[in-house]
A and B are shown apart, each in its own frame.
Chain A
Amino acid sequence: MKKVIIIALGLGLALNLSAQRFLTKTGHIYFSSDAPLEKIEAHNRQVNAALDSRTGDFIFKVLMKSFAFEKALMQEHFNENYVESDLYPNAIFVGKIPNLDDVDFEKAGTYQVTVMGDMNLHGKSQKIEEDGVLVVSKDGIQATSTFNLEIADYDISIPGAVAGKIADEIQIHVDVNLKALNK
């Protein structure tokens, strides 16, 4: 009986890890701006992310209005003046993991990866290439990365009056727990 349970558990684990598509709709992305006059942080906990373990395709969809700030006024300015979330509601990243051969999705472990692709934010698309970490376990894949974005690259202009409060470079923190889509 014990043997049967162990084989069944092992089979379940193998099936889970050999799944092709992994996704989440509760990914967490937050950004921080460390300017001389103010430190700003905003969190979004309903991020869509999907990874195809066979092709290395990686996609993120981030609804701008879901970013929660500590100060209501900052949230208002962010949506209305900077990212203009009524006009450009989503930020979308579509890319790939080029060093996919370095990751064994069937073996639990921590793998360093590079992700490259197109980041579309505020109606502007830029090619980016960033480092990240994939932690493969029986529960799925945890993907984390921290990188910087120049806000000027996305045509986001900051008025002179608040220039000292918002950094030119924003640090983005990504933490998503992807689960196998067994459908």
Chain B
Amino acid sequence: MKKYKKILGIALVAFIMVAAYVWFFVYNKPHRNIEKAKADYELSAEVAYHTFHSGDPVQAKEYLGKVIQLTGQASHIESGDSLMVLVFVFEEGMFGDEGIRCSFLPKYNQQLASLDLSKEIMVKGYCAGYNETDVIMEQCSLARPQ
């Protein structure tokens, strides 16, 4: 009887440990930290845009959902309610300017406000894809201080 109790106790502890693991590391696993992640691809903003806009669709698919580091000269910054978007413009279309739109992590708002747009910028973020007008980057950070 004592032996059965011991086995039951071990099984219960094992079950709790597995359940806790699933709860914390599977069901509630944290989002990937894009700011700290190593970039999967490093390229110029212009090359990235043209790959999506008129380039190689196979290569464009490679960038989808990946961490990309872009270098180039940005055109302007748009400020929304809580969102700051750095824009690299390469074309003019029906939806106005077209290019790469990088929405930044809120902690960069102050740095963005004092950014010198005449200088080259290096941005790292999650490539969400191409919406037929712009390449969209999310959770962006400045990869190199100006």
Contacts and interface: CB of A to CB of B under 8 A. Distances in A.
Interface of A: 23, 25-26, 45-46, 48, 50, 61-66, 68, 71-73, 75, 79, 85-86, 89-90, 181, 183
B95 A25 contact: yes
B38 interface: no
B103 interface: yes
Interface string B92-132: 10111000010100000000000000000000000011111
Interface of B: 26-32, 61, 64-65, 78, 80, 83, 85, 92, 94-96, 101, 103, 128-134, 136, 138
B80 A65 contact: no
Contacts of B96: 23, 25, 181, 183
Contacts of B136: 46, 63, 65-66
Nearest to A71: B28
B138 A46 contact: yes
Contacts of B95: 23, 25, 48, 50
Given A65-B128, A86-B61, A46 B30 contact: no
Contacts of A73: 26-29
Nearest to A62: B131
Given A23-B95, A86-B61, A46 B103 contact: yes
B128 A66 contact: yes
A45 B83 contact: yes
B30 A72 contact: yes
A25 B101 contact: yes
B29 A89 contact: no
A45 B129 contact: no
Given A86-B61, A86-B64, 4 more contacts: A46-B85, A65-B65, A73-B28, A89-B64
B131 A48 contact: yes
A23 B134 CA distance: 14
Contact of B65 (A26, A50, A79): A79
Contacts of A23: 95-96
